[in-house]
Amino acid sequence: MPKQNVFYILPHIDRIGELANQMFVLRNLFPEQDNNLVIITFSPQAKPKTNLALFQVATRGLEVRTTVDEGLLWSCYNDQNANDIIKSEQGDIMVLLSCGQLRHRYYQEFTLRTPLYHFSLSDAEVEAGAALRHSFGIPLQAKVITFHVRDGACFGAGGNDSYRNAHIINYLPAISHLMDSGFHVVRLGDSTMAPLPITHPQLHDAPHHPAYSPLVEPYFIASSSFFLGTPSGPLDIAHGFNVPALVTDAPIQSAIWGYDRDLFVFKKYYSEHLGRALSYGEVLMSPSLHYFRDRLFSESGISLVNNTAKEILAATVEMQQRLAGEYPYLPEAERANRLRRNLENQCDILRQHTVSEDSIPYTPMYPFSRCHAQISCEYARLNPWFFGHRWPEVRSWGWEPELVAL
């Protein structure tokens, strides 16, 4: 049976997260054994910030057609009616979905399924990566951790999503611990970011390294024992390569997804009206689940509080121990995440029955109750109130609440 052509418009090739996420999602939604994927996009040369190495990895084996027709390339974002998958009489499929709509379709399809496709490096890229290691002073057999802390520098002071940013200083104890454990730690980002405030032979500030090349992101992430950092572009690359991720300083939103080896450490939502941090269930039941702009948080009297150095370090140790099969609190972790999923399902049901014509349309909480990622048990141990300010079971586990310091 001949393959069907599947056409997809990809305008955001110069943002590594969008590029990695959309190609990974598309290639799982339309497996290549049954489909001939055709990507319609800008020429990479027309978008100077495009990571050419990642572009080659993400589109390898696909037919790529370039155009200068910006109206066509942005049609799925500018046309409110462009939200569909259309099949022609000839059997060709046109995927008229924006990146967000494509992710939503993926969440629907892969709630109970495991993605079959992941990125891979070619032999030539592996060889070039070995040369990169040598230039960075990283032995070929050394264990590597990649990390990225979003600071908003590349978008300037006029950005409207600074709530996603974090402070690199809070990550230094975790980085020191990883180096003490024998890892070489590679910081990812771009040259607009301030250089790291510390130096060490096992710490590599890739954006400011003289040997930096676009291969740094795909090669070192693919080589990582795990990825550490905030929800941003490099995390999407880690998911594309099936690399486990410790996701820190994560907002609680309806657009986060994770896999079975991923751990999440959420930011605290501090309510100025209540004078305290909101519990997980309170956030899930509030409109803030759909806030993606600084202004909305500000107008609602909600401040997002970054993870502490203690929380990030504890979660990093937990991640190491989990991947090594040595985490001592697995029974507690399973109970905590079971309680968490029960809470998510209850909130999901309530949201379905409380949406009015004037409120935000109901969106299933795919990232929370329907994917296999877990909330860090160490984060719950440090913040037992997170699952409810009157949650009684935590005291039977010997956990004591820690005050939220602001």
Per-residue pLDDT, averaged over 283-307, amounts to 92
> What pLDDT does residue 152 have?
76
Please say whether the beta carbons of 138 and 209 come within 8 A. Answer: no
User: Is residue 30's pLDDT more than 80?
Assistant: yes
Out of 13-27, 64-78, 302-316, which region has the weakest mean confidence (pLDDT)? 64-78
Average pLDDT, the chain: 88
What tokens does 219 get?
């090669």
Pairing of strands 224-229, 35-41: unpaired
Of the pLDDT bands very low, low, confident and very high (cuts 50, 70, 90), residue 35 is very high
Spell out the domains of the chain, with CATH numbers in brackets.
Answer: 4-109 (no CATH), 124-243 (3.40.50.2000), 253-304+325-406 (no CATH)
> What pLDDT does residue 154 have?
59
**HSE toward the beta carbon, residue 263, CA cutoff 13 A:** 27
User: Is residue 336's pLDDT more than 70?
Assistant: yes
> What pLDDT does residue 387 have?
86
Q: Strand, coil or helix: what is 150?
A: coil
pLDDT in tens, 356-393: 555 555 666 555 566 788 999 999 999 988 987 554 45
Look at 155 and 232; give whichever has higher pLDDT: 232
Look at 220 and 362; give whichever has higher pLDDT: 220
> What pLDDT does residue 158 have?
53
Per-residue pLDDT, averaged over 246-253, amounts to 95
Per-residue pLDDT, averaged over 336-351, amounts to 83
User: Is residue 406's pLDDT more than 50?
Assistant: no
How many Cβ atoms are within 10 Å of 390's Cβ, its own excluded? 6
Per-residue pLDDT, averaged over 45-67, amounts to 96
pLDDT in tens, 166-204: 999 999 999 999 999 999 999 999 999 999 999 999 999
Q: How far apart are CA 102 and CA 269, in angstroms?
A: 28
Q: How far apart are CA 25 and CA 18, in angstroms?
A: 10
Q: What angle do CA 225, 112, 106 make, to 5 degrees?
A: 80
Please say whether the beta carbons of 288 and 355 come within 8 A. Answer: no
> What pLDDT does residue 153 have?
74
Per-residue pLDDT, averaged over 152-158, amounts to 61
> What pLDDT does residue 380 have?
92
Distances (CA, A) of 217 to 57, 129, 222, 236: 11, 10, 8, 11
> What pLDDT does residue 405 have?
35
> What pLDDT does residue 361 have?
59
Look at 285 and 299; give whichever has higher pLDDT: 299
The torsion angle over the Cα atoms of residues 133, 139, 140 and 142, rounded to 10 degrees, is -110
Q: How far apart are CA 35 and CA 63, in angstroms?
A: 11
The torsion angle over the Cα atoms of residues 242, 246, 250 and 252, rounded to 10 degrees, is 70
Write out the DSSP string of 322-385.
Answer: HHTT--TTHHHHHHHHHHHHHHHHHHHHHHHTT--TTSPPP---HHHHSS--EE-HHHHHH-GG
pLDDT in tens, 225-246: 999 999 999 999 999 999 999 9
Of the pLDDT bands very low, low, confident and very high (cuts 50, 70, 90), residue 347 is confident
* Percentage of residues of the chain with pLDDT beyond 90: 66
pLDDT in tens, 305-324: 999 999 999 999 999 999 99
> What pLDDT does residue 254 have?
76
HEC string of 98-134 equals: CHHHHHHHHHHHCCCCCCCCCCCCCHHHHHHHHHHHH
HEC string of 70-98 equals: HHHHCHHHHCCCCCEEEECCCCCEEEECC
Q: How far apart are CA 20 and CA 230, in angstroms?
A: 16
